[in-house]
Amino acid sequence: MKAIDFTTASFKDFENIPEQDIYATAKEFVAYLNFLKDNGHLNYRIESLSPVGPEMNLMLPGDSHPTWCVCLVSNDYLGFSQHPLVKSAVIKGVEMFGTGSGAPPAIGGHFVYHEQLEKKIAAFYNRTDAILYTTGYTANSATLQCILYRDNKDNDPKKNDIAILDMNVHASVYEGVLNTTTAKTFLHNDLVMLEHVLKHAKDNYRTKMVIIDGVYSQDGDVAPIDEIAELTHRYGAYLVVDDAHGIGVVGNTGRGVIEMYNAFDKVDIITGTFSKALGNIGGYVIASPELITYLKYQSKQHLFSTTATPSVMGILKAIDLIDEEPIWKERLWENINYLKNGLISLGFDVGTTASAVVPVKVGDIMKTLEAGRLLLKLGIYTNPIMYPAVSKKNARIRMNIMATHTKEHLDKVLNAFIEVDRQLFISNKHIK
């Protein structure tokens, strides 16, 4: 068996190694992590001693004392996890109902706060019905597993379903369609390729479903939902949009990419999470009343999982705050534009981001990992992203901007990138 070259490896290289059992694979994987750690490239699972915020007090690898760093890894875009009114609502929920719900939803675990949250998140998108999951990841994976099938009785494709995915959708979507008869991908935001797949699927499958993100988590760009919805429905398919990174961030009133394109009545299924701009945890799916009822009794991960704790009462207040205190979204966009324009002026490639996700594209994996190490040393906590999250030639430093960052924080980030570029030559001004 050929040994894995740690200098060019990624996490994916340790999946399902032929002729090697899982304990041997785990041992080799730990050796790979130690290799990254020894080179200062293991920017994962760093322990924080402080709450989520624009700065975090971190125990950096190899250090004996914590270090305060500017935090660019949090999805708490509006800072609502630390908002006094949100925290007060969480405390009230715990005081009223305790720390747990004690049961799955169908057999004793459905409380008034769950009902209120279902109604409130549905109304946020001008709908009436929603289902809650314990995570946003599960909202995607569990729902798709439940509604897209493989008919094992015969090989007639017309009795089977097809999932048509933008190639950049979240990993939870890919997991959700593992058991679907056919899963096809189309190039990111490529409407010509999407239409080609839809034409082939039109009369050959039972349920046809196009699944996209609103805001894409690695590039921060958005889907042209209006055009995708028109194509999808023209060929008799349903449209699913996961707008986890859009809610609270884009759209005139923070209702995401769906609001940006005024597509409230054009999207068949909306999925999302409470763990980003809403500052809590959990996921949701919004659809027709009939489909939501079906999921509540047929989606196994919902039906057999203990429901969310009373702390989700904080989400109810966070949803209100999007409308009541729009200043947070305004501050967020001031920060996004300030940092993005600063990076562009310095010659860095930030791609086509139109959200609070701002990448600096590097390309080379080892340079990306080294950039992450240098930034951390300079007090900037970021995410080096490499294959398989992105293609092998598209590694980058990904940053998530928050409304609570100050200009001083962002200037520190820009100055750090100047120093990293001086050492690694990662900006466009070094490309001849």
Write down the residue that tokens 């001031």 correspond to. 334
pLDDT of residue 317: 98
Contact at 8 Å (CB) between 269 and 143? yes
Buried b (16+ CB within 10 A) or exposed e, 263-287: beebbbbbbbbbbbbbbbbbbbbbb
Q: Which pLDDT belongs to residue 376?
A: 95
Read off the pLDDT of residues 188-221 as tens digits, 9 standing for 90 and up. Answer: 999 999 999 999 999 999 999 999 999 999 999 9
Mark residue 256 as left, alpha or beta (left: phi above 0; alpha: psi -120 to 50; beta: remaining).
left
Q: Quick one: tokens of 399? A: 């940053």
Q: For residue 349, what are its two tokens? A: 């490639």
- Does residue 156 carry a pLDDT above 70? no
Closest C-alpha among 117, 53, 139, 120 to residue 323: 120
Cα 355 to Cα 251: distance, rounded to the nearest angstrom: 10
Burial classification of residue 95, based on how many CB atoms lie within 10 Å of its CB (0-12 exposed, 13-18 middle, 19 or more buried): exposed
Q: What is the CA radius of gyration of the chain?
A: 22
Residues linked to residue 269 through DSSP beta bridges, in sequence order: 240
Q: How far apart are CA 36 and CA 1, in angstroms?
A: 22
pLDDT in tens, 313-333: 999 999 999 999 999 999 999
Q: Which two tokens stand for residue 395?
A: 């590694």
Confidence category of residue 63, pLDDT binned at 50, 70, 90:
confident
CA pair distance 238, 3, nearest whole angstrom: 45
**291-314 residue pLDDT tens:** 999 999 999 999 999 999 999 999
Task: Tell me: pLDDT of 152 over 80.
Answer: no
- The answer to whether the CB of 242 falls within 8 A of the CB of 166 is no
Mean of the pLDDT values across residues 147-175?
84
Sheet holding 395-400, edge to edge: 357-363, 395-400, 383-385
Residue 160's pLDDT is: 87
* Whole-number pLDDT of residue 431: 63
Decide: 270 and 77 in contact? Cβ < 8 Å: no
Percent of all residues in the chain with a pLDDT value above 90, rounded to a whole number = 86
Decide: 130 and 280 in contact? Cβ < 8 Å: no
pLDDT in tens, 166-186: 999 999 999 999 988 899 999
| Res 61: pLDDT | 82
Distance of alpha carbon 233 from alpha carbon 237, whole angstroms: 5
- How many Å separate Cα 403 from the centre of its chain? 18
pLDDT tens readout for residues 83-129: 999 999 999 999 999 999 999 999 999 999 999 999 999 999 999 99
Higher pLDDT, 193 or 2: 193
pLDDT reported for residue 151: 64
Q: Is 30 helix (H, G, I), strand (E, B) or coil?
A: helix
CB atoms within 10 A of CB 379: 16
| Region for residue 151 given its phi and psi (left: phi exceeds 0; alpha: psi -120 to 50; beta: otherwise) | beta
Q: Examine the pLDDT at 2 and tell me if it is beyond 90.
A: no
Look over the chain and give the mean of its residue pLDDT values, rounded to a whole number: 95
Structure tokens at 146: 């439940």
Give the model's pLDDT for residue 149.
79
pLDDT tens sequence across 341-395: 999 999 999 999 999 999 999 999 999 999 999 999 999 999 999 888 898 889 9
pTM of the model: 0.95
Closest by CA to 232, choosing from 204, 272, 202, is 202
374, 360 contact by CB (below 8 A)? no
Cβ atoms of 48 and 56 closer than 8 Å? yes
pLDDT in tens, 259-296: 999 999 999 999 999 999 999 999 999 999 999 999 99
How many Å apart are CA 161 and CA 157, to the nearest integer?
A: 8
pLDDT at 158: 64
Nearest to 384, CA basis, from 73, 58, 74, 56: 73
CA angle 6, 9, 10 (to 5 degrees): 130
* pLDDT, tens digit, 9 for 90 and up, residues 12-34: 899 989 889 999 999 999 999 99
* Residue 299: how many other CB atoms lie within 10 Å: 23
pLDDT given for residue 150 in this prediction: 65
Cα–Cα dist 114/308, whole Å: 8
All structural domains of the chain = 52-79+327-430 (3.90.1150.10), 83-323 (3.40.640.10)
